[in-house]
Amino acid sequence: PMYHLKLLGGDLEQVVYLSLRQADRRLQDLEDYPIRVAPLLFKGGSARERSMNCLGPQNLLSTTAFPAERTAVCGPLSLKLDPDGSLNTTLIAATRTEVNNGTRFKLTVFTSGPSEFTPMPEMRNLPPTPKAASTNPPPPPAAPTAAEVDTCRHCGKALNASGFGGGYRTIGGSVTVHSECYDEYKISTSPKCPHCGLAVCKQAKQEDGTNFSGKYYMVGDQQIHAECFAAYQSK
């Protein structure tokens, strides 16, 4: 999820403190935290211009790593405001590992002055990246077309179509799918296990009771479920 955080007020700068917390591992009978989380803050976020190119290291304001802990903390960050007395930023509750639908996180934001905090349901509500001052700058990353951003790659319906919650996933920077379609899209596009014929990805419990974790072994150019590997070897 992404949010537009706009700092306001007459001060020349504000101090921002961010915290992103996941569920307690002990409540899930886990020995460690399989999900790595971090709050990422980028400069830019005006809804008047729309592009996802600003999500680059040149605009990253936070310095938080992805710790193997329950909570990732960033701050205090001293941010200078623009001449108009405000600063538009984009805040992302980011993860480095795949997250199932319904996973809950707690995002906390403290600012030393007045601010506005607004959810951003669409990734195009971002300003374009300023051109780097370089004699030979690298080419900018390819941005998805309007059709790719507006339409779910799996079902072909608009991202804001009725019957959907409004959330979506971006895959590879150019493919967008409804949150409700993500699992089916993942299954339809993942390689198939040569032993059982099912998609090699994390899946809910099957009819035979098998619960695929998403882990696999490589044999040649084929991916084999970790759960199928012993049976595959015995053939």
27 — phi, psi (to 5°)?
-75, -15
pLDDT in tens, 157-193: 888 888 888 787 877 656 788 889 988 888 888 899 9
* Per-residue pLDDT, 132: 37
**pLDDT at residue 133 is higher than 70:** no
DSSP letter string, 82-122: PTTS-EEEEEEEEESS---TT--EEEEEEESS-EEEEEE-S
Mean pLDDT of the chain: 77
pLDDT in tens, 78-117: 899 888 888 888 888 888 777 766 677 888 999 988 888 8
* SS3 category, 151: strand
* Per-residue pLDDT, 124: 43
**pLDDT at residue 214 is higher than 80:** yes
DSSP-derived letter for residue 231 is: H
pLDDT in tens, 35-84: 888 888 888 866 554 445 556 677 788 876 777 788 888 888 889 988 88
* Per-residue pLDDT, 1: 73
Cβ-proximal residues to 100 (8 Å cutoff; 6+ apart), any chain: 202
* SS3 category, 181: helix
Closest C-alpha to 103, from 231, 203, 1:
1
Write out the H or E segment, with its range, that includes residue 182.
Answer: helix 182-189
**pLDDT at residue 215 is higher than 70:** yes
- Domains of the chain listed by start with CATH number: 1-129 (2.60.120), 142-189 (no CATH), 191-234 (no CATH)
**pLDDT at residue 24 is higher than 70:** yes
Q: CA 225 to CA 232: how far, in whole Å? A: 9
* Per-residue pLDDT, 147: 43
